[in-house]
Amino acid sequence: MESISKGLEDVNIKWTKLTTIDGEKGILRYSGYQIEDIINAGALAEEIQYLFLNGELPNRSQLDLFREKIEAGYDVPDYVLNAITNLPRSSDVVALQMNAIAALAATEPFKWDKATNRDYAAKLIGQMASITATGIRHVLGKEPVKLKSSDSLARSFLSAVFDSEPSERAVAALNTALILYLDHEVPASTTAGLVVVSTMADMYSGVAGALAALKGPLHGGAAEAAAMQFKEIGSPDMVESWFKENIDSGKKRLMGFGHRVYKTYDPRAKIFKSIAENIGLTGEAKNLYEIATKLEKLGVNKFGPRGIYPNTDFYSGIVYMALGFPLQNNIYTALFALSRVTGWTAHFIEYVEEQHRLIRPRAVYVGPQERKYIPLQERK
């Protein structure tokens, strides 16, 4: 039988100048810049968004102009927000994002064009922020909102969701999360979106496709699923017995652990952990953090020898909880998407502009050989 690459493991589907991962050493670089250097230097998320869409870091005036383009997206049309608020408040927020993005796909006059692709992508970052803020507020029983201009996307977003001025620490933590989740080469969501845009469908449809793939618990859904697992354990005293009953027995997968590419610690997991350590955790977030650190030790002990370590989703939910986002309705995965929309669109642009071809793989047929069709009335 002809072989297939199950899960497309180790299949290269494009060239990229955007992100590189060394899965053996646990190194992540954005266009050559190491993730730790970007975070330690206190970069603004918008600088890195600019880097992804333009290939170089911006100077001050380039950044100001780029931020204006993002902020132009904050004012999404009401019918886009209605695509969220028409749905029940019990909805999954990533599905609400998909609905709103589909409303943009229905109405924005988008055409692939080198002269305007990046402007659409910048505007989409802003649109996604108002969509995500409204989606989160909707499931929390609040009115829709459009972001207002400030000195950063992180600040505008937190103010919009919570109707109050965020602390500097909260702004810095969300800004870092926006950078950490910004891109990760071609995981399932980016690949799904690339398949869509390879048909020359519009950028919004590509993002809707990417969102659909992100939602599942093996990919972006793990951001919420990991925190849910900590909550299910309930208290640090229960970690060992829960691990024995659920993980040692093979009943469940340890969420926030394992990665197709990393065979060691995901560098983003370490950064999220250090934010959690320094953000001043209290209440439920503190309890979940204590559970997570115990679980991490047991998980690394058991799975480390097989190259299965904490990934970016292991500690991110705890950080989001510390920022005031509740653990419900897939909100944590929606926050992942808010950041990843930059990576998705940057990959789409790179693919369509430089290396476009319809993505159309093959399947190896293993069903019955030719047989005679029997009409329904003659079938027993």
Please tell me whether residue 255 binds ligand CMC under the rule CB under 6 A.
Answer: yes
Q: Rank residues 183 and 202 by Cβ distance to ligand CMC and give the closer one.
A: 183
List b or e across 9-34, with b for residues whose CB sees 16 or more CB atoms inside 10 angstroms: eeeebbebebbebeeeebebbbbeee
Among 257, 309, 315, 325, binds ligand CMC (CB under 6 A): 257
Q: How far is the CB of 183 from ligand CMC (least distance, A)?
A: 12
Please tell me whether residue 92 binds ligand CMC under the rule CB under 6 A.
Answer: no
**Is the separation of the CB atoms in 264 and 310 below 8 Å?**
no
Total residues contacting ligand CMC by CB under 6 A comes to 18
Please tell me whether residue 76 binds ligand CMC under the rule CB under 6 A.
Answer: no
Q: How far is the CB of 128 from ligand CMC (least distance, A)?
A: 17
Q: Rank residues 57 and 300 by Cβ distance to ligand CMC and give the closer one.
A: 300
Among 138, 259, 340, 347, binds ligand CMC (CB under 6 A): 259
Please tell me whether residue 104 binds ligand CMC under the rule CB under 6 A.
Answer: no
C-alpha 195: how far from chain center: 18
Residue 159 CA to residue 107 CA, distance in Å, equals 28
**Is the separation of the CB atoms in 122 and 69 below 8 Å?**
yes
Q: Rank residues 23 and 77 by Cβ distance to ligand CMC and give the closer one.
A: 23
Q: Rank residues 257 and 325 by Cβ distance to ligand CMC and give the closer one.
A: 257
Residue 154 CA to residue 170 CA, distance in Å, equals 9
Residue 331 CA to residue 132 CA, distance in Å, equals 9
Q: Rank residues 58 and 187 by Cβ distance to ligand CMC and give the closer one.
A: 187
Q: Rank residues 50 and 314 by Cβ distance to ligand CMC and give the closer one.
A: 314
Q: Rank residues 201 and 207 by Cβ distance to ligand CMC and give the closer one.
A: 207
Q: How far is the CB of 376 from ligand CMC (least distance, A)?
A: 41
DSSP assignments along 340-362, one per residue:
HHHHHHHHHHHHHHHS-------
Residue 236 CA to residue 298 CA, distance in Å, equals 12
For the question of residue 78 being annotated catalytic, the response is no
**Is the separation of the CB atoms in 177 and 223 below 8 Å?**
no
Residue 338 CA to residue 147 CA, distance in Å, equals 13
Which of 148, 121, 123 lies closest to 73, judged by CA? 123
Rg (C-alpha) for the chain, rounded Å, is: 22
Residue 15 CA to residue 364 CA, distance in Å, equals 26
Q: Which residues from 297-326 bind ligand CMC, rule CB under 6 A? A: 308, 311-313
Please tell me whether residue 98 binds ligand CMC under the rule CB under 6 A.
Answer: no
Residue 145 CA to residue 299 CA, distance in Å, equals 41
Q: Which of the stretches 23-31, 169-177, 252-260, 357-365 binds ligand CMC when contact is defined by CB under 6 A?
A: 252-260
Find the farthest-apart pair of alpha carbons in the chain and give their distance in angstroms, rounded. Answer: 77
Please tell me whether residue 330 binds ligand CMC under the rule CB under 6 A.
Answer: no
Q: Which residue among 92, 183, 202, 313 is the active-site one?
A: 313
Q: How far is the CB of 14 from ligand CMC (least distance, A)?
A: 18
Please list, in sequence order, all residues whose beta carbon lies within 8 angstroms of the beta carbon of residue 287, skipping any fewer than 6 positions away. 235, 236
Site string for ligand CMC, 192-231 (x = CB under 6 A): --------------------------xxx-x---------
Q: How far is the CB of 196 from ligand CMC (least distance, A)?
A: 19
| Amino acid at the residue 224 | E
Q: Which residue among 219, 248, 347, 356 is the active-site one?
A: 219
Q: Rank residues 8 and 63 by Cβ distance to ligand CMC and give the closer one.
A: 8
For the question of residue 237 being annotated catalytic, the response is no
**DSSP code, position 55:** S
Angle of CA points 276, 137, 281, to nearest 5°: 15
Residue 360 CA to residue 311 CA, distance in Å, equals 31
Residue 75 CA to residue 130 CA, distance in Å, equals 8
Site string for ligand CMC, 157-196 (x = CB under 6 A): ------------------------------x---------
So which residues are the catalytic ones?
219, 259, 313
**What residues make contact with ligand CMC under the rule CB under 6 A?**
7, 187, 218-220, 222, 253-260, 308, 311-313
